[in-house]
Structures are given as structure tokens and as C-alpha cells.
Amino acid sequence: MKRIFLFLILCALMLGCSSLKTSFDYDESRDYSEYKSFALLRMNDQLRGAISRPAAVGRAIDRELTSGFVERGYLLDDEGADLHVTYILSVEELVADYDPLPYTARGSGASLSIEVDRRGTFTIDIIDVATNELIWRGTATDAVEKNNPKAEENIRNVVSKLLEKFPAR
């Protein structure tokens, strides 16, 4: 249940690209021109079906990934793909607590103040189907807000930003 709750938070997906941090890791020795087609390894249907909003966000991510790869010259081929594309969503809660002052003006201890921030991470993994090896990974990290009305637009921006670094055909 906690996993689904965290997924909901991330589904509000990243606030905007201003504080978006990206990183990339890939096999530099690989000849990416040999790849022509891709297939999405979709999210676990059980998790998707558990609550309706993550399913909608999952479909939006699938749509953006498909669009991004097609724009880069790859063909969608669920049966005979050269590449499998998958993604991972996670949320980390960062808690900062502050020591209370020993005494307030009234002479008693002050209350403890706790601040919680959420950081979401979205990772795209690309796997060579023939060797079953991870050949490329792009990761974006940003602050996450609950119930973000711009979630779908942010998904588009994050996927686009990550795929900029994947070789086009």
C-alpha cells in the first residue's frame, strides 16, 4: 500500500524543469545505428489497476516514450523489437527536523518542527533484446508536489529531456 501511495505522489511528477537534474549512463562501445525498433516493457498491470490515476499517468508515460522514440526514427514493434524500453518511478521523502530551543519566553521547551520534502526520480532503461543487457539509462530527479495540475505536461518535458541524449537513427 505504501508503494502505491508513493507512486501516487510521483505521479504528480516533477514540478518543472527549473530544478530538474538529469544524468545519463550508456555503453560507449555500442554501435547504436544497428538498432531499428523498440517495444515498451509496460508497468505491472496489477499496480496499474490498483488505482485509477497511476494508470492514466502510466499511459501518458507510455505515450510520450512511444512518441519520443518514433520521432528519433525508431519503429514500434512489440513482437520483434531490437530494444526494450522500460521506466522506473520512485519517491524519496527527505525529512529535516530542528532541535527545539531549550526555553521559550514562557520558560517551557519549544515544540519540534519537522519539514518534509519529496524528491522524485524517473529512470528510463533501454535494454538490448538480443543480449538482454542494459545499454542506456537516463535519470531525472526533481522536487515532487502532490496533486500537480501540470503532471501530464511535466511528463512530456521530462521524457523529452531524457530522450534528447539517446542517439537518433
Mean pLDDT per 10-residue segment, the chain (169 residues): 45 52 92 95 50 65 93 95 90 62 54 63 92 95 72 83 91
Dist CA 82 CA 75 (whole Å): 10
pTM of the model as a whole:
0.71
How confident is the model at residue 138, as a pLDDT?
95
Cell of 151: 503532471
Dist CA 143 CA 57 (whole Å): 17
Class of domain 2-163 (CATH, top level): alpha beta
CA terminus-to-terminus distance, the chain: 41
Dist CA 74 CA 32 (whole Å): 11
> What does the DSSP 8-state code read for residue 38?
E
